[in-house]
Structure 1
Amino acid sequence: MKKILLLTDFSEASHKALEFARSFFSDTVVDFHLLCVYPVEADGFYSPRHVAETVHTAFISQLRDMVTELRKQPAIDWHTFRSSAMPGKLIDVVRQNLDAEAYDLVVIGAKKDGTNELFGNSATTLIRQLNANILVVPFDAVSKPIRRIVLAIDFANLKSCKLLCPVKELASLKGATLTLLTIDTPGKKAIRLEREISIRQFLAPLEPTVARLQSSDARKGIDDYLAGHSVDLLVTIPKHKGLNDILTGKSITRSLAYMPPVPMLTLYDDGSSDQPRLIEDLSNLDYAL
């Protein structure tokens, strides 16, 4: 069973995300947790406690109505729904829920609610700060079968093939084609053939196609590929999460998530590696063995 944390603020974008997620997992047993995170604003007339209780009651009522409506829709017997409303900052509340319970995925609808692409929005904040896989659903996404999955990947920088488990599982379950998209940019580290071979072996029995594009930068290369190909899901592995990376435009995933051209799955990289570690001091070889 998959456990999905789906964020909602009752907007059109969040409704679209829920609709897409139900379709996306139509062939999977899923427990959907609909989470509404809201700020509590002070009121000059009523006490803070009264305001908090009133707001909480209103959001809980909306969530109950939403869940009731979902249960009236054509049944997918293997989908269950629960809901909660919590006050606070979005990132803090989501972290709290992830710490309390193991979720396979966080789902959020993309909407342009940030100042601009540099400062980002809710989706980009979650990608940057959460240790979780995140599905970002565009506001104009169409619910349809997932047939073509594209993984934007830098073979040289992929330290652990285990990161690709969700992609392998999805492509196998959906019977989808998988394309490994790599963008060759000026000064990019050379790819060792054995690394590409090990990735292919890990993905077996899938037989992914490798698409290599040359471009002045990775974001432009991805945009050019998407413009010329039909893609149902784009998968990325965020690497550059620091403030300096954002300011210098190195955070490709973040810029894509601001207004994603297609549904986008980001995979959390915990920094682990499945590659052999070099022994620098050969004098200690006996002890290392």
Structure 2
Amino acid sequence: MKNIVLLTDFSENSQNAINYALEFFKNDTCQFYVMHVHKMGSYTMDDLMLAPDQNVYDSIVKKPKKRLNEIIQNLENIKKTNHKFETIVDFDDFTDAINQIVVSKKIDFVVLGSNGVTGAKEVLFGSNTLNVIRKVNCKTLVVPKQYIYQPIKGAVLALDSSDDVTDIIVSQLKSFMITHPFLLNVLRINPHQNKTEYTFYDHSYLEKIPHRYYTINDVPTHYAINSFIQIKNIGMSILFINKEGFFERLFSSSAKTKISNSLKTPLLIFHNKI
């Protein structure tokens, strides 16, 4: 059984990500945890004084708990028989709260939308999404705003000249593709015509899983990925996170604006560590 956190800030975007997850994992037996994390400082004195006969914790979680229960009620009407739901409210630091649940509930995936309530068009990922990707050591599925589920026929694993394919990467991909089979396209990007020896090592590791392998030189990373997604009819992008890796460069402030309006597929994040 898969244990999956569905993060929500009660926005349309987070609800859309939840809907996507239910379809994506429809054939899996899943325990879903619909989770809301709120900063303690966002609660007013009125919130704390609404029910003087309750303790502080009950006063704080009352409103979000009610909204989570409403989400669950709606999901119960459309759920698969192999899906179960629980709610979680926390008012800890955002990523700390998620990391605690990942450990305590043995979470396999964290699912969230790319933007939150603000929905700023120029921002690809909100700060909470970026923090989850960087600081939560768990497979993470990020669903773009208004993206409607469709079966994935092909996915792209993008690598640049500083990324190594490792046994950890191959193991995680193989495990994922057992229950979610698709055509894996590996795109090795050398944006400045760097001569690397990675191709040989890539093939030695990747021969363990079905894939197609492509290299592209002297093309900016964001152009390479976005063009490949359109040409190959890609339904999901895959990245592996290192401490100072591809993701940090790809989503730096200079690159973020360039790709924000063109990356339209869900993004699956793996971490290159156990």
> Is the shorter-chain TM-score for this pair beyond 0.5, marking a shared fold?
yes
- Structure 1 counterpart of 2:188, one-letter code: T
Cα 1:132–1:248 shift into 2, 3 Å:
closer
Structure 2 portions without partners, runs of 5+: none
Residue 219 (str. 1) matches residue 225 (str. 2): no
Write the mapping of 1:40-189 to structure 2, written as runs, cut at 5 A: 40=40, 41=42, 43=44, 53-73=58-78, 75-111=79-115, 113=118, 117=123, 120-154=126-160, 157-186=163-192, 188=194
Q: Distance in 2 between matches of 1:16 and 1:263?
A: 12
Counterparts in 2 of 1:254 and 1:167: CA distance versus 1, 3 Å: farther
2:241 equivalent to 1:235: no
Q: Equivalent residue of 1:77, what SS?
A: coil
1:152-186 CA deviation, whole Å, 9 max, x = no partner?
Answer: 12476325222233333343433421111111221
Under a length normalisation based on structure 2, what TM-score does the superposition of the two structures give? 0.82
Task: Return the match for 1:266 from 246, 264, 269.
Answer: 269
RMSD: 3.3
Aligned residues: 265
Q: Any stretches of 5+ residues in structure 1 without a counterpart?
A: 273-289
- Cα deviation, residue 114, structure 1: 8.3
CA contact (8 A) 2:32 2:84 kept: yes
Q: Distance in 2 between matches of 1:254 and 1:22?
A: 30
What are the Cα deviations for residues 215-241 of structure 1, in whole angstroms up to 9, with x where unaligned?
Answer: 343223112222333111110112354
- Kept in 1, the 8 Å contact 2:3–2:105? The answer is no
**What letter is aligned with 1:229?**
K
Residues 148 and 231 in structure 1, CA contact (< 8 A), matched pair in contact too: yes
Q: Distance in 2 between matches of 1:255 and 1:31?
A: 37
| 3-state SS of paired residue (1:141) | coil
Distance 1:172 1:186 in 2: 35
Contact map agreement 1:110 1:258 (CA 8 A) in 2? no
Cα distance change on mapping 1:195 and 1:98 into 2, 3 Å = same
- Distance change >3 Å, CA 223–CA 61, structure 1 → 2: same
Cα drift, residue 146 of structure 1: 1.5
Moved more, 174-183 or 117-126: 117-126
When residues 45 and 230 of structure 1 are mapped into structure 2, their CA distance, relative to the original with a 3 A threshold, is closer
Tell which deviates more after alignment, 161-170 or 252-261: 252-261
Give the conservation status (yes or no) of the 8 Å contact 2:161–2:194: no
Give percent identity, aligned residues only: 22
Tell me, yes or no, if the aligned pair for 2:29 and 2:83 is still in contact at 8 Å: yes
For the structure 1 residues 12 and 259, does the alpha-carbon distance in structure 2 shift closer, same or farther, using more than 3 Å as the test?
Answer: farther
CA separation of 1:172 and 1:256: change in aligned 2, threshold 3 A: farther
- With structure 1 as the length reference, what TM-score do the two structures score? 0.78
Q: Are 1:36 and 1:84, in contact at CA under 8 Å, matched by a contact in 2?
A: yes
* Equivalent residue letter for 1:105: F
